[in-house]
Structure 1
Amino acid sequence: MPFLLLYLKLRVKRFQDRPAKKDAKIKVLAVHSPRYVPDQECLSEHPDMEIWVLPHDVQALINSIFIRDQAKLLEGLDAIETSRVFREGEIPQIKEGRERLQKYLERFLPKAMRLLKVDGMMSCSFFYLLDLDWQIACTKTHIPFFALHKENMQDPVVHEHMIKRYSDMHLKFEGQRLFLYNGLVKKVLMGAHICDEEITRIVGACRMDALINKVQNNQCASPKRQVTLFSSHHAIGLLSLKDHKGYFSNDRNDGFVNYFDQVHGNMVLFAKQNPDVTVYIKPKWGGRWLEEIKSAAKRIANIDLDNEDIPNLHIVWDTPAQQLIEESAVIVGINSTTLLESLIVGRRVVVPLFEEAADKYYDRHVYFKKYQDVVFNVVRAPNELSQTLLDELNEKIPARDLPKEIIEDYLGYFDDQAANRVVEQMKMDVQNLNAKKAK
């Protein structure tokens, strides 16, 4: 144990190497830090909050000492089976390893907290297998384990599916406090019996605080003559693909395949035909996603992006979404919180609803139905997309009002106080647990 404590001390660093805060009231050790950087940035701006980062490989190393050959033992199982088998101890080697790991963590974590001078741990979700035994050990030793659950997009159309999926996975949160963006997420988690309602807290989205503050203080820059498409894939709205690689189907009859091609092909064509408009397409990453965009351009617009230069077209995945939102006059997409962020900033939002999105998968996989005709410009045919974008750019279509209800439904609050709600709750939880330790 002394060696691991020393190793931990050497590897743990302050989030983004930010300066120490002498007056910080709450210090947490974050796991899975790269997965929720914007939330941590917002929390780090709070004067009472200091975040330290436990590298993923260190946490995985500690687990692997006790649970050996986990990947091999779980080989061949899908995500649901993997979660159930791991959590329920159906494989003796994993069950025994988890028991040894928990006993070790019950001795290790209190010493680690004192060594690092932190109050508790923080993750960005409640369901990571890597965290499970850390949650249990923290609870047994009165160390708070906080989860800022970042999976916030739980539209009513997927509630039944998600409740069943979470139940089949035997998911439980074993930590101290589960922070949620909104009531829609809470409804799913309570339906799946993830934890007691009393340990949940709806706080809104920390990463939205800065944006909302800029809007409230009229500090957003005027948009350029620019359109951004937040790219989707073939598995929109939690659609399960049969034959696929990642989020892309190998069967043109399975998934949002024609929809993807028409949206992306027509966006590339729009860029070529309107050189005075800057066009961004933002997938979440490159690789297969980029190749699918190129294929769509070839198939729909007969444009070979490998050999034809369109100077005003940019396909990027590393440019921050909020930067593109602020710079663009028109945003295009489907089922994404970026559409809501765009509405908050006052941008015009176009939602293509044709091909599979209009019929085959509309009922069970397309979000925002309650509000879609109120706040979005819905395009119902591929050949109407280009003119709609021009009409929105030239403000020939009246701007739409933003109902407060849609923000509250999906983002929890329409203010810049999410981080403050999180920090104040954490401070209260730490205080209560310290009181229990003192008894």
Structure 2
Amino acid sequence: MTSLKKIMKTAILIVARQSVFIPLIARFVAQKLVDFDLVQADRAGANRNILALNAIRYGQDLKRINGQGEFRVKTLDPDIQNWINALFIGGLTGERVKRLGARVFLKSNAPENQRVVAKQEAYLQKLIRRICKCSDVEAIVTCTFYYAQDHVWMSAAEEAGVPFVVLHKECMKDESIIPEMTKQYATGEIYFRFKGTRMTVYNDNEKKCQVDSGIVSEDKVVVTGCPRTDVLFKRRLEAGFPDPGKCVTFFSFRHLIGGLRDPELKTGFSVDGSNGAVRLFAESHAAFAQTAILHPDWEFVIKPKWLKNWAPFIEKTILEEIGVDIADISNLRVDVSEPAQSLIDRSKVVVGLNSTAVIEARVAGRDVVIPVFEEAEGRHRDRIYFRKYFDTDFMVARSGAHQQELIEKAMLSVTPVLNNQDDRIFREFFGFTDGKCTERVVALLKDEIELKHRGSA
């Protein structure tokens, strides 16, 4: 019975993907597109449409584009995109994809797999052209070049005459990790060669990784800076950051730091302590909790990127290290609900490791403490970013006790302990400090759309 169901499901998919149904599916998809923020776009006077895939993953950058006054951002539910992909990699083929993994399947040289991908691309060319016509979409964007769900859409959009631009958001490449990341881009099974129209990156470090690895040709990748930082740098120029409150924020990290990979550690945490910055994680988080206990009149926040697996690990570690349940520390919480910039605005001190958040905190003039001890000065010393900015931009903690000491020093200081006004770190990692990164991205989109129009004329 199970085999019969699989065969019937495959038969339905085969029928559904016939060309005769493309106009119907395109109209359905066009009706399901959602305006990112229609009020914002209308207020800005935007009247041209772009389609953003995976919108939840780069919302701040999309918000800037949506409010620029040129393009309205429309989004597609990932479930609908996955359903469209399943027309070709579902059913019996889907079983093969599950066994291999989507990325391995898409990169496979096996003729039977290549035939499926070729058919999917030919179908998507027609479907994308129809969707764009139905919804007046002029370009498609996504936030990285290596999402499996977008891979065939890139090349199909190109062939369909629709610009597919990747607004690449994973650009935190310290000089210490560039050789390793270049190697991972070139050989790692999760990465694809770029098949879209253009790729924007925040900085030269990321561009170097991509070009040197062969992921993308130099003429296709453009350094535009980081759109979401435009507001930050404009506030900096206008001295527009508020005075901090009695708050300290720790932007949490996991055991796998600085580009470390381990297929056994899907959560990023090593249970047996055999890989990653295990002791650094434990001691830095425990010291943060101890500092909270000693200062009950201050608010202490630990912010992971997400709660699942991560928050329980933080709570377990603190209990094991200092024997106190985090629930019993009334002024300490693990929270993902408050945006990073809001926490930075409210915080007198920020703690973090290898994160854009610590650079954003420096833009806001906050003191930042970076824990650099245990594995950070041992087996994973080469995985620690920003070393050339230590002591000028960042306070460096050499132990858990020293971390507590530095946090308290910054808490009690009337002015920032470190008040370096040099822009080097901002330019290296965010590309530009002029507040015009969104303008560069919008200009690139307009240029690519115009080129496609001229090419099809």
Give TM-score scaled by structure 2 length. 0.90
Deviation at 1:83, TM superposition (A): 3.0
- 2:198 corresponds, among 156, 177, 194, to 177
CA spacing shift, 1:429–1:252, aligned 2, 3 Å: same
1:256-267 to structure 2, matched below 5 A, reads 256-267=277-288
CA offsets, 1:224-258, max 9 Å, x none? 12110001111011222464341110222322111
Aligned to 2:417: 398
What SS does the corresponding residue of 2:192 show, helix, strand or coil?
A: coil
1:185-196 to structure 2, matched below 5 A, reads 185-196=206-217
1:290-369 to structure 2, matched below 5 A, reads 290-306=311-327, 308=328, 310-363=329-382, 365-369=383-387
CA spacing shift, 1:123–1:243, aligned 2, 3 Å: closer
Q: Is the 8 A contact 1:167 1:192 kept in 2?
A: yes
Aligned to 1:164: 183
Matched positions, count: 431
What SS does the corresponding residue of 1:249 show, helix, strand or coil?
A: coil
- Does 2:89 match 1:31? no
- 1:72 corresponds, among 70, 84, 95, to 95
1:417-432 to structure 2, matched below 5 A, reads 417-432=436-451
1:197-346 to structure 2, matched below 5 A, reads 197-241=218-262, 243-306=264-327, 308=328, 310-346=329-365
CA offsets, 1:71-94, max 9 Å, x none? 53244557xxx53542244362x3
Q: Is the 8 A contact 1:177 1:199 kept in 2?
A: yes
Separation in 1 of the partners of 2:28 and 2:263? 44
Q: Is the 8 A contact 1:269 1:297 kept in 2?
A: no
What SS does the corresponding residue of 1:351 show, helix, strand or coil?
A: strand
CA spacing shift, 1:48–1:17, aligned 2, 3 Å: closer
What SS does the corresponding residue of 2:378 show, helix, strand or coil?
A: coil
Q: Is the 8 A contact 1:158 1:237 kept in 2?
A: yes
CA spacing shift, 1:18–1:72, aligned 2, 3 Å: farther
Q: Is the 8 A contact 1:178 1:199 kept in 2?
A: yes
CA offsets, 1:351-381, max 9 Å, x none? 1111111212112x11111212321110101
Gaps of 5+ in 1: none
Give structure 1 regions of 4+ aligned residues with deviation exceeding 6 angstroms: none
What SS does the corresponding residue of 2:273 show, helix, strand or coil?
A: coil
- Does 2:103 match 1:83? yes
Separation in 2 of the partners of 1:27 and 1:191? 34
Separation in 2 of the partners of 1:77 and 1:201? 34
Q: Is the 8 A contact 2:52 2:74 kept in 1?
A: yes
CA spacing shift, 1:129–1:242, aligned 2, 3 Å: closer
CA offsets, 1:199-232, max 9 Å, x none? 2111111111112222221221110121100011
Separation in 1 of the partners of 2:270 and 2:68? 43
Q: Is the 8 A contact 2:27 2:131 kept in 1?
A: no
Deviation at 1:157, TM superposition (A): 1.9
* Percent identity between the two aligned chains: 28
Deviation larger for 399-408 or 341-350: 399-408
Aligned to 1:61: 83
Separation in 2 of the partners of 1:256 and 1:275? 29
Separation in 1 of the partners of 2:100 and 2:246? 49
Separation in 1 of the partners of 2:355 and 2:233? 17
Deviation at 1:95, TM superposition (A): 2.1
Separation in 2 of the partners of 1:193 and 1:26? 34
Letter in 2 for 1:187: K
Separation in 2 of the partners of 1:434 and 1:44? 22
CA offsets, 1:151-178, max 9 Å, x none? 1111122222222222223621111110
Q: Is the 8 A contact 2:165 2:197 kept in 1?
A: yes
Separation in 2 of the partners of 1:30 and 1:210? 21
Q: Is the 8 A contact 2:139 2:445 kept in 1?
A: no
Superposed CA RMSD in Å reads 1.9
Give TM-score scaled by structure 1 length. 0.93
Separation in 1 of the partners of 2:279 and 2:111? 43
Separation in 1 of the partners of 2:45 and 2:343? 36
Deviation at 1:37, TM superposition (A): 0.6
Gaps of 5+ in 2: 1-21
What SS does the corresponding residue of 1:291 show, helix, strand or coil?
A: helix
Deviation larger for 322-331 or 366-375: 366-375
- 1:104 corresponds, among 74, 99, 123, to 123
- 1:15 corresponds, among 36, 41, 49, to 36
Deviation larger for 41-50 or 293-302: 293-302
Separation in 2 of the partners of 1:84 and 1:160? 24
